[in-house]
Chain A
Amino acid sequence: MGVNVASISVPGVQQDSRSWSVGGLLKLGTVAIQFALVALVFTAVRLESEAFRQVLYISVAAFPINHLLPMRFRLPFFVLLSVGIIIKILGVESAAWVLGIGLVFIGLCHVPAPAKVRIGLVAAAALALAAFRAGWADAPWPGGVWPILGAMFMFRMIVYLYDLVHKSAPAGPWRAFAYFFMIPNVCFPLFPVVDYQAFCRTYYNEDAYKIYQTGIKWMLRGALHFILYRFIYTFLLVGPEEVKGAGDFFQHMVTTYLLYLQVSAMFHTIIGFLHLFGFNLPETNHHYVLASSFTDFWRRINIYWKDFMMKVFFYPLFFRLRKRGTTQAMILATLIAFFATWFLHAYQWYWLRGAFLFTTPDVVFWLILGVLVTLSVWAEARSKKKVVPTSGPESAKLAIILALKTVATFLTITFLWSLWTSDSLMQWQAMLLQLRHWDAESVLKIGLACVTLGVAAIAVGRDQWMIGAAARQRTTKAKPFDFWRSAAANGAAGMFIVSLALAEVQSHLSPTMTAVLESIEAPSLNARDEAALQGGYYEDLIQVDRFNPELQAKYSRQPLNYFDEWREAMNTKRGDYLGVELTPSTTITYAGITYTTNEWGMRDKPYTREKQAGVCRAGIIGSSHVMGWGVNDSEVCDAVAETRLNAEGLPCELLNFSVNGYDPIQKTITLRDKMLDFDLDVAILFCHRIEKQWIVSHLVQRVKSGLEIDEPRIQKALAASGVTQDMGEPEIKVRLSGSGSELLQWAFTSFADTCRENGIRSVWIFMPEKGRVSFIDRDIKELFACAEAAKFDLILDYSDAFKGYPEKELAISDYDDHPNALAHTLLAGRLFETIKTNEAVFAGGSRPQGQTSAATLAQREP
């Protein structure tokens, strides 16, 4: 007969640490300042969404009020604050739906009926919601409600019901509202599965200042994880299509695994935040890179998930099965728990994104991981702990074994992770085939990484629970809490991060360091990065813009369907490879910006086909950045440069043929079909970092749409890759990725050759964006190599055009990093200098058709 032990225990010995003494108020003020510093860190480095940063500032103001309230008022205050924030972020209508539906679910849990009836009622309500989510019936609430509703209730409702039915935690309206509507859930659709029992038990269960200091520390740790994530994403990540050998594959699998830093960053931030309101919850992740076995990995990577699975699946299953014997019960319970884990990940995907996740890589990943963890459980269940020596040869041997086990676990997990994050099994197999190619660099890269990891495992493991009981003993003797030392450490860390984001500090750093910092400060992926987006389960759930534009609009204050209205007015669809072009003779004002096109469909003033004598005429072709998205007609770089050139007595016409979204193939077609008609002396091709990925991405769209492509070189690439219209997009992308480099080279060469054949000088310019650093970016290196191979007359790097200006001063807005008027002025300055200092290239005058520019230049040079 089981006894409800918890029902008579005191969950959460609430300590009322209010103090109006000078010392108490001083501590409170110190915590408040640190909290404000955390908010500054998130603002300075533009971490997380604009919505969350707003929540931070509101919470900084609310924090001292909460602390000074009598204990009985704090939870109601937290609830009211949470509700207020939900309304602020989602708006009244969406917030009303979230709160209303939530209250219905909470109410169903408390219907005065037997547990089975209540569970049945909640399940029936959830099924009704699921039907709406599937689109079987039109939901009356806005689409942005779904991810938030899902995030609040999909798992926590299970935990809440479990604890309610077993009476293993106290119940009450304020606790329930606080648990489901807790800040900052409204800003994070992917949210840790907070345990209800722990939520109640840990509420102000020890010294409040200690709890707050832990919260500040974890939020700063979260910020650091976010920054590391961005560094890895920007500088180290190797996409599947970039894997050309064993070293690349190793870097791919390690970096895609390390992208999980974004999840640990979020979880540290969220749980740290809750500490500031008294919830002394346990840590969410623990050095998961240093896991030394599969069970160890399972215990460290997402501790809240593991606890949830143990509570709701593993222990109940084990107790049902243990008549079969402890070991057998453990193995069966583990296997079933892993099946449930797979299912619940798909279930989470369903509530957040609206479709059930069922892909081969996902199924295979969970199957293999489940088997590995089960084998690990079996081995651990049979093993007996041995005395662990703390010194001597035996200890050294154990340390080496620990290092080897850590490296082996890491390699296995990252290998599986690369499978999980692949678009398809075929994409993963294609990468595996590259393992045939080994070179010294690969061996060095892999060897160095493994040795570093092994050393870290020994160094950290000695002070953690890994190496053995002797080390564990040390951790149980925790150091006494020192408030002022903790505040000093947090303050120093926060100020260090904020200072690095200051332009004044960056101006004293090396250009390399400044460029790296600017890249890390970039808030989100821009439109071009989207083409080369690294996928993955968590990436696809965290980046709200990938699945719920309505919610994204609320998070970023970006207008819903941003760009669409503009496209509607300014883009005319074409049935050929170009896809779209600018609508001729159109003027619109969108978001306060005037866009005008001339009769030829250029974002420019009117020009005749024939140029005037003595004038140098250059045709410019780029994409949205050069077309001038987000700036007025007169502010576009070519217009500014042209005005300045003419004012200084350099007769010049700069015709802007740029169209939003054009890749190098489209730009080359534009040169051939349009630009040649305008009596050009020079053709300038502007390029960005990931032109190659755009070529592949656009080609995938064209194959899927069944477009007849008459360009022989593209036909050849399509034939070689064996793609067909009925294939899935991921498969087409994988097959075409191998042709990306060749098509990029072909497009550049065609551009330069076309210019040569028509007596036009060719100029290639690398357009900077988001502080990309060319010296370590292989995409940029490839661009320059292709431009050189194409033999452009002039190859220029505008990477430093924005030097000295912080990224945020150059972008249109927080949610759109296209260059603003200032950035266009800076680009115009570079263009002006280019034309002025390269007179031979930009000299006006006509040449006979077919004469090469090199020959022309030779003729003109004295």
Chain B
Amino acid sequence: MNNDAQSIQTSVKDYLMKTFLPGEDPESLTPDTPLISGGILDSISTVKLVTFLEEQYKVEFQAHEINSDNLETLTDIAKTIQLKSAARA
């Protein structure tokens, strides 16, 4: 699994577009689009996204990590995954 920031963002973006934003223009979802405060991720979709991230990148989230600091944008998500992957290694 390629864990550089760009590839994580691409993979997560694909997942978000397919699961929560079907039919949307992929260009509208930028690395800085607010996902939680912008209403794209609600509690249920956040839980689904976290499950996806855990399965895809073999990382584990704790409940207190489900917040805007870690999941607000594609950039934040990529950073979070990289840190978790690094810690696991």
Contact = CB atoms under 8 A, between A and B. Distances in A.
A3 B69 contact: no
A8 B69 CA distance: 10
Contacts of B83: 3, 5, 8
A403 to B, nearest CB: 20
B65 to A, nearest CB: 6
B87 interface: yes
Most B Cβ at <10 Å: residue of A1, A163, A295, A464: A1
Interface in A1-46: 1-6, 8-9, 11
B67 A1 contact: no
Interface stretch (A213-221, A266-274, A309-317, A835-843): A309-317
A326 B66 CA distance: 16
B24 A315 contact: no
Contact of B67 (A197, A316, A386): A197
Contacts of B40: 465, 472, 476
B72 to A, nearest CB: 9
A295 B63 contact: no
A470 interface: yes
Contact of A5 (B42, B47, B70): B70
B39 A168 contact: no
Nearest to B44: A380
A381 to B, nearest CB: 6
A166 B87 contact: no
Interface string B39-74: 110111001100100000000111111111110000
Contacts of B13: none
B64 A168 contact: yes
Nearest to A3: B87
A385 B20 contact: yes
B28 interface: yes
A388 interface: yes
A311 B28 CA distance: 29
A469 B87 CA distance: 35
Given A387-B22, A477-B28, A330 B44 contact: yes
Nearest to B70: A5
A55 B41 CA distance: 37
Given A5-B83, A6-B69, A319-B62, A476 B37 contact: no
A594 interface: no
A201 interface: yes
B24 A469 contact: yes
Interface in B2-48: 19-25, 28-29, 33-34, 37-40, 42-44, 47-48
Contacts of A168: 64-65, 67, 69
B87 to A, nearest CB: 4
A476 B88 contact: no
A469 B64 contact: no
A310 B76 CA distance: 20
Interface residues of A, number: 47
Interface in A322-338: 322, 326, 330
A1 B87 contact: yes
Nearest to A337: B43
B39 A201 contact: no
A388 B23 contact: yes
Contacts of A851: none
Nearest to A309: B43
A6 B70 contact: yes
Contacts of A381: 44
A8 B70 CA distance: 11
A316 B67 CA distance: 12
Contacts of B37: 282
A318 interface: yes
Contact of B25 (A318, A384, A473): A473
A162 interface: yes
Contacts of B60: 1-2
B63 A465 contact: no
A345 interface: no
A385 B80 contact: no
Contacts of A163: 64
Contacts of A476: 28-29, 33-34, 38, 40
B24 to A, nearest CB: 5
Contact of B21 (A166, A314, A326, A472): A472
Nearest to B34: A476
A843 to B, nearest CB: 75
A295 B46 CA distance: 14
A282 B34 CA distance: 12
Given A315-B66, A387-B22, A387-B23, A5 B84 contact: yes
A5 B69 contact: yes
A501 interface: no
Given A3-B83, A5-B84, A385 B62 contact: no
A480 to B, nearest CB: 14
Nearest to B23: A387
B75 to A, nearest CB: 11
Nearest to B21: A469
Contact of B22 (A8, A295, A386, A475): A386
Contacts of A388: 22-23
Contact of B43 (A310, A319, A473): A310
B52 to A, nearest CB: 11
A88 interface: no
B54 to A, nearest CB: 10
Interface string A385-398: 11111000000000
Given A2-B61, A477-B28, A469 B23 contact: yes
A691 to B, nearest CB: 50
A385 B22 contact: yes
A314 B43 contact: yes
Contacts of A330: 44, 47
B40 to A, nearest CB: 6
Contacts of B42: 295, 299
Contacts of A346: none
A121 interface: no
B84 A3 contact: yes
B87 A311 contact: no
Contact of A318 (B28, B63, B64): B63
A237 interface: no
B64 A475 contact: no
B9 to A, nearest CB: 16
Contacts of A377: 44
B64 A162 contact: yes
A669 interface: no
A318 B50 CA distance: 12
9 contacts: A1-B87, A3-B83, A3-B84, A5-B84, A6-B65, A11-B69, A201-B69, A318-B47, A384-B19
Given A6-B65, A316-B64, 6 more contacts: A3-B84, A311-B67, A326-B51, A388-B23, A473-B24, A476-B34
Nearest 10 pairs of A and B residues by beta carbon: A387-B23, A2-B62, A465-B39, A166-B64, A315-B63, A316-B63, A6-B69, A3-B87, A319-B63, A469-B21
